[in-house]
Amino acid sequence: MSSKPNIENSPNVPCGPLCDGPEAIAQMPAITSAGGRAGAGQMNEQSWRFNRQISVSVLVQLVLLASLIVGSWVNLQRQLDLLQRDVTYLCECQKNVERKLELLHEKSISYEYRLRAVEK
């Protein structure tokens, strides 16, 4: 009993001509530097064609990817809004602290003058 899974007979695993065996590989067109011809004696020239079919799984993956991108964008916008609110709140708090420090400084100066007046 081997530990290697048998994917050749599995209907759910599309693996192309590599799983079909040596017969399918032998039928694949050969590519050479001479414009795609396999040999000088071959009469019909085989060329590669792009398969334009889109499978359902690829379509689902594209939709999921697009939804993840949109979801990430919305999440970033929400976080930026929260950050802007926090920065605005911190600026207001800083202004309040500055006002309180100015009042404390004025009071300390007035108390210092009173103390000097009492000492004389």
Establish if 23 belongs to a structural domain.
yes
Establish if 78 belongs to a structural domain.
yes
Residues 6 or more apart from 36 whose CB is under 8 A from it?
A: 29, 45, 46, 47, 48
- The pTM for the full model equals 0.45
pLDDT digits 0-9 by tens, 57-101 = 888 999 999 999 999 999 999 999 999 999 999 999 999 999 999
Residue 21 has a pLDDT of 53
Establish if 104 belongs to a structural domain.
yes
Domain that holds residue 77: 16-41+54-119
Residue 82 and residue 70: Cα distance in Å, rounded? 18
Establish if 46 belongs to a structural domain.
no
- Is the separation of the CB atoms in 48 and 35 below 8 Å? no
Residue 33's pLDDT band, with cuts at 50, 70 and 90, is: very low
Establish if 47 belongs to a structural domain.
no
Count of domains observed in the chain: 1
Count Cα atoms within 13 angstroms, Cβ side, for 117: 6
Establish if 114 belongs to a structural domain.
yes
Q: What is the CA radius of gyration of the chain?
A: 39
Establish if 3 belongs to a structural domain.
no
